[in-house]
Amino acid sequence: MAAAAVAVAEPKTKYDRQLRIWGDQGQAALEKASICLLNSGPTGTEALKNLVLGGIGSVTVVDGSKVEPSDLGNNFLCNSRVNKECLGQSRAQSVCSFLQELNDAVKVKYVEESPGTMIDTNPSFFSQFTVVIATQLPESSLLKLDGICRAADIVLVAARSYGLTGLVRVSVKEHCVIESKPDHFLDDLRLHNPWTELKQFAKSIDICDKDPVVHKHTPYIVILVRLAEKWADAHDGKLPSTRQEKREFKDLIRAHMLNVDEENYKEAVESSYKVSVTPGISTEIRQIIDDSSSEVNLSSSDFWVLVAALKEFIANEGNGDLPLEGTIPDMTSQTEYYVSLQKIYQAKAETDCLAMEHRVKNILKRIGRHPDSISRAYIKTFCKNARKLRVCRYRSMEEEFNAPVISEVQKYFADEDSCFAMNFYILLRAVDRLAANYSRLPGIFDSEIDEDVPRLKVAAVSVLSDMGLNGTSLSEDLVTEVCRFAGAEIHPVAAFIGGVASQEVIKLVTKQFVPLMGTFIFNGIDLKSQVLAL
Amino acid sequence: MASPDAEAPPPTEPERWRDLDILLSRPGNLVHATFQPSPGLRDDIGSFVEVLVVGAGGLGCELLKDLALSGFKNLHVIDMDTIDVSNLNRQFLFRVQDVGKPKAEVAAKRVMERVSGVNIVPHFCRIEDKELEFYNQFQIIVLGLDSIEARSYINSVACGFLEYDSDDKPIPKTAKPMVDGGTEGFKGHARVIMPGTTPCFECNIWLFPPQVKFPLCTLAETPRTAAHCIEYAHLIKWDEVHTGKPFDADNAEHMQWIYSEALQRAELFGISGVTYSLTQGVVKNIIPAIASTNAIISAACALEALKLVSGCSKSVLNYLTYNGLVGTHIKVTEFVRDTDCLVCGPGTLIELDTSSTLSEFIKMLEKHPKLLMSKASVTHEGNNLYMQSPEVLEQMTRQNLSIPMFELLKGASFVTVHVSGMAESNGNKVSSLRKLRVLFKGVEEASKMDTTESS
Ligand SMILES: [Zn+2]
């Protein structure tokens, strides 16, 4: 028994380092997700490896090929104790046996079938998955697959490694994020517009108390609320807005210091700009509430129902503001003052959330859904993150290929940083075009590299002219490089591309953080990689 | 084990390495000036290049795999840690049965089992336990670490090999390149350090600001957050209650005690948010870590290592940051060297009287404002002049203490020596290694006169 106990890893402990990032909710979403991988070369298997380690629900590998000698040189998952044992075996099977070894909590399956055939003959196969990761697929297959996934509302992540370049592209109609968890975000303190309870609390503290201990433990929120009021009284009810006024406001704060080393006053000076923040709603959030999807009906998602409620809230209880987030940062203060402030912010957030809940119920009733069909926890998370909502919409591949936004493309070509990426993008598409004509990638044969360079250039020019970009010239060096690469899947490049693909899958599945908006182009030459929104 | 002769022959190496050889055997326009493409380049890398991977954790496991599949055949890995259950979400070479075993040994074994032809030598020890010469055998040192102190130490070792000519120009063949990776959650960095050419870790140490500590008076008098309550239990209450018994963060009972103390204190002050998980996070300063970020950063590091030895493409100049919080954001910044860097520069100049003994020299290092180094051991060109430990070496070198340095250095007027000991860094005592240039007062003049006379 003791031996068996040793060999069991408690999920809480095993996943501790990632639970600290996406929490139990994020983990639960991962454990519910089913992922399909097309092609089990190193790019795809490295992506799956990362997801299996993190405890994804299930993975299904679709690959009809057998393990070849070259797989042993670039695919860690194909190798086994004695290399040759794997040779000739199904590549999907060989990869899956390693994946299963990594984490027995994950369901690992495989289908011995070529991805191209699967796309052509069995499109309904894909509807069972949360995300499809398509690796090393030519443009034509990808285009079909994108159509299939969009129709079934399945997230598609396309990844490709090609010599020292490669790409990752996300495609889904719409992806709404509540917990975007940005790195730096202004605290929601409402110092420019304090509500009654906050004002009353600030008034209850004498900021001119001569007791040095009390004075240096008055939280900066109180100092700023009081001094902003004082400032407004002397300036026709207006808060400091010009640079000169902001400087004078800081002087006013400093004038209230008893000692130069009072940390709370230093914090007040540093945070004084928070008094002058533009009130109301940011343009990003304004765009979301003005979106036509906020006109909800029975088929609207919970997210959009909440946005509809949010719009009403702003116009009514919110008085032009969003629901309060309800948390405050740590600041120099007596415990008692700080805890009281926390409670005041929490109480206001709860009041706002309650008002939102009320509006959500009414909207649900109006559109014919059960008023309790959206959980209180969901509404609470939404309110807490109302300032950070993100809606990501992706153009379909068909739109990208057939209706390029010329102005954007030209902008990328003109920009020094993204020009390189744009060249790679065109060349990777040109490679597929050339392959369609010659049934092989350019540069495959040493003897034909010299002829393939102009051939690839011709193919690239045809891609450009189809996009309406006649006369745009490509970098000769990059044309030659792409011919040199000959579609080689170099392990570290594949691990990088696969790593990025898995990272995006995690964000898309957990609905936390903000996924890649567009096509990520890897530049393995000097690593200056870019994202193109096409 | 299957009997080898009953099976089909293993693939030939060229078949197996088809993809990698495409990159190594074909000329290109955007390659390093030294690139000499040839079908034998991979063999040369396999035969002649030795790489050290420092750390066998999240980055280290990935690095060993990536390097083994990039044509490197002689790898070493050094790590003092053993495997913990919380490693299993990303350190893909370890299984639950391996918990408690040395990371370096298990990682080396697993990669060798899967990639035939690669040899990985594990070192289950502290990086400071190795002689400096150990580090000199490698053409590249790849760092997969999560501590600033360890990075700083390896950086000073590698930069210590850099020699300068009489015009204070670095001598390129003595430069030991490093590739350094680091991650935290969805963010990471990868950089190439070419001592003497690109900034070393110490040149840009400001990129790694020290962790902010809570003032003790906040913990003792005005706690406001859950973390304050936890640190109070950890840093103040533990010692009050357990006189003389050191706190051990790996002891579950100790951690449980901190947690319940913190909880009590939080209740007393009306503070919410103390959980066992947060207690562990605060006390052990846990950095969140996931497989995907480690994979991305390690892959970039391995690719740069391959470029450094082969020249098959340009190198990153010189610092890449990855941020996956919003999209996939990659930025490459070209940082510049600090020409006054104590670590990658020519060395701190120390002036000595010809009569100063080794023991006086060691005392002087303690007070030197740029060094503040205590308990120094001193080496010169690989020879131990004085070693604080191990005991055998201490006894062997003790008699040197009373001998003048001038005599020990055989009457040379201007000499480079390496000293290692404990130095102050951000208020902590850390292992430190410094290169010093010792100039003997009065001697230089004499030698100059000699040259004038002879010319
Ligand atoms: Zn330096």
Surface-to-core class of residue B268, CB atoms within 10 Å of its CB (0-12 exposed, 13-18 middle, 19+ buried): exposed
Q: Which residues from A are below 8 Å from B114, CB to CB? A: 76, 79-81
Q: CB A492 to CB B17 under 8 A?
A: no
Helix axes A263-270, A220-234, angle to 10 degrees: 60
What integer is the mean pLDDT of B92-104?
97
Which residues, in sequence order, are bridge partners of residue B119?
B74
Asked if the model's pLDDT at residue A333 lies above 70, the reply is: yes
- Is the Cβ–Cβ distance between A29 and A517 less than 8 Å? no
- Per DSSP bridges, beta strands A34-38 and A131-135 are parallel
Q: Which residues from B are below 8 Å from A486, CB to CB? A: 22
Side-chain half-sphere CA neighbours of B110 within 13 A: 26
- The top-scoring range by mean pLDDT among A472-476, B295-299, B353-357 is B295-299
Q: Tell me the average pLDDT of chain A.
A: 94
What integer is the mean pLDDT of A45-52?
98
Asked if the model's pLDDT at residue A79 lies above 90, the reply is: no
ipTM strictly over 0.90?
yes
B126 CA distance to ligand 1 middle (Å)? 23
What integer is the mean pLDDT of A256-281?
92
Sign of CA dihedral A497, A502, A503, A507: positive
Residues of B with a catalytic annotation lie at 217
Side-chain half-sphere CA neighbours of A438 within 13 A: 18
Q: CB B303 to CB A19 under 8 A?
A: no
The phi and psi torsions of A328 (rounded to 5 degrees) equal -125, 150
Percentage of the residues of chain B whose pLDDT score is greater than 90: 75
Distance CA A368, CA A376 (A): 19
- List the single residue in B with minimal CA-CA distance to A162: B19
Asked if the model's pLDDT at residue B3 lies above 80, the reply is: no
Asked if the model's pLDDT at residue A173 lies above 60, the reply is: yes
Of A73, A481, A490, the CB nearest to B16: A73
Picking from B292, B312, B321 by the largest number of A CB atoms within 10 A of its own CB, the best residue to mutate is B292
User: Residue A5: which H helix or E strand, with range?
Assistant: helix A2-6
- Is the Cβ–Cβ distance between B443 and B451 less than 8 Å? no
Q: Which residues from A are below 8 Å from B300, CB to CB? A: 492, 496, 527
In sequence order, the 6+-apart residues with CB closer than 8 A to the CB of A489 are A41, A42, A43, A74, A136, A161, A162, B19
Of B126, B120, B92, B89, nearest in space to B105 by CA: B120
Rg, chain B, Cα only: 25
Q: CB B96 to CB A7 under 8 A?
A: yes
DSSP letters for A138-169: -HHHHHHHHHHHHHTT-EEEEEEEETTEEEEE
Asked if the model's pLDDT at residue B70 lies above 60, the reply is: yes
Q: Note the CATH number of domain A2-174+490-532.
A: 3.40.50.720
Asked if the model's pLDDT at residue B198 lies above 90, the reply is: yes
Of B428, B8, B217, B440, nearest in space to A69 by CA: B8
What integer is the mean pLDDT of A405-411?
94
Q: Which residues from B are below 8 Å from A74, CB to CB? A: 19-20, 69
Q: CB B114 to CB A334 under 8 A?
A: no
- Is the Cβ–Cβ distance between A116 and A494 less than 8 Å? no
What integer is the mean pLDDT of B215-229?
95
- Cα B120 to Cα A254, B41, B76, B110, B170, distances in angstroms: 63, 20, 5, 10, 32
Surface-to-core class of residue B448, CB atoms within 10 Å of its CB (0-12 exposed, 13-18 middle, 19+ buried): exposed
For residue range A236-253, list pLDDT tens digits in order.
999 999 999 999 999 999
Q: CB A182 to CB B326 under 8 A?
A: yes
Q: Which residues from A are below 8 Å from B314, CB to CB? A: 525-526
Surface-to-core class of residue B369, CB atoms within 10 Å of its CB (0-12 exposed, 13-18 middle, 19+ buried): exposed
What integer is the mean pLDDT of A199-226?
93
For residue range B160-195, list pLDDT tens digits in order.
999 988 788 999 999 999 999 999 999 999 999 999
What integer is the mean pLDDT of A394-421?
94
What integer is the mean pLDDT of B107-127?
96
Distance from CA of B70 to the nearest CA of A (A): 7
Distance from CA of A86 to the nearest CA of B (A): 10
Q: Which residues surround ligand 1, an ion (CB under 5 A)?
A: B 200, 202-203, 341, 343-344
Q: How confident is the model at residue B211 (pLDDT cuts 50, 70, 90)?
A: confident
Q: CB A69 to CB B329 under 8 A?
A: no
Rg, chain A, Cα only: 29
Of A164, A503, A528, the CB nearest to B324: A503
B334 CA distance to ligand 1 middle (Å)? 14
Percentage of the residues of chain B whose pLDDT score is greater than 70: 95
Asked if the model's pLDDT at residue B54 lies above 90, the reply is: yes
Give me B427's structure tokens: 């208020």
- Is the Cβ–Cβ distance between B234 and B282 less than 8 Å? yes
Distance CA B197, CA B176 (A): 11
Q: Which residues from B are below 8 Å from A20, CB to CB? A: 277, 281, 286, 288
What integer is the mean pLDDT of B141-161?
94
Our measurement of the distance from residue A183's CA atom to the centroid of its chain's CA atoms, rounded to an integer in Å, reads 12
At A423 the pLDDT is: 97
Q: CB B186 to CB A503 under 8 A?
A: yes
Asked if the model's pLDDT at residue A230 lies above 70, the reply is: yes
In sequence order, the 6+-apart residues with CB closer than 8 A to the CB of B427 are none
Sheet bearing B383-386, strands edge to edge: B348-352, B428-440, B414-425, B373-380, B383-386
Q: How confident is the model at residue A84 (pLDDT cuts 50, 70, 90)?
A: low
More confident residue, B10 or B418: B418
DSSP letters for B320-378: EEEE-SBS-EEEEE-----TT-TTTSS-EEEEE-TT-BHHHHHHHHHH-TTT-EEEEEE
At B450 the pLDDT is: 43
For residue range B299-324, list pLDDT tens digits in order.
999 999 999 999 999 999 999 999 99
Give me B309's structure tokens: 């030895």
Distance from CA of B397 to the nearest CA of A (A): 46
Surface-to-core class of residue B351, CB atoms within 10 Å of its CB (0-12 exposed, 13-18 middle, 19+ buried): exposed
Picking from A484, A510, A528 by the largest number of B CB atoms within 10 A of its own CB, the best residue to mutate is A484
Distance from CA of B154 to the nearest CA of A (A): 24
What integer is the mean pLDDT of A324-347?
96
Q: Tell me the average pLDDT of chain B.
A: 91
What integer is the mean pLDDT of A487-514?
98
- List the single residue in A with minimal CA-CA distance to B226: A330
What integer is the mean pLDDT of A303-322?
97
Q: CB B327 to CB A517 under 8 A?
A: yes
- Is the Cβ–Cβ distance between A175 and A155 less than 8 Å? yes
HEC readout, A409-463: HHHHHHCHHHHHHHHHHHHHHHHHHHHHHHCCCCCCCHHHHHHHHHHHHHHHHHH
At A108 the pLDDT is: 98
Domains in chain B (CATH in brackets) are: 13-208+289-333 (3.40.50.720), 216-283 (1.10.10.520), 348-452 (3.10.290.60)
- List the single residue in B with minimal CA-CA distance to A492: B299
- The residues of chain A that CATH labels 3.40.50.720 are 2-174+490-532
- List the single residue in B with minimal CA-CA distance to A479: B29
Distance CA B285, CA B373 (A): 27
Asked if the model's pLDDT at residue A7 lies above 80, the reply is: no
What integer is the mean pLDDT of A341-346?
97
B197 CA distance to ligand 1 middle (Å)? 9
B348 CA distance to ligand 1 middle (Å)? 12
Q: Which residues from A are below 8 Å from B20, CB to CB? A: 73-74, 488, 490-491
Give me A453's structure tokens: 């360079």
The total of other beta-carbon atoms located within 10 Å of residue A316's CB is 10
At A82 the pLDDT is: 53
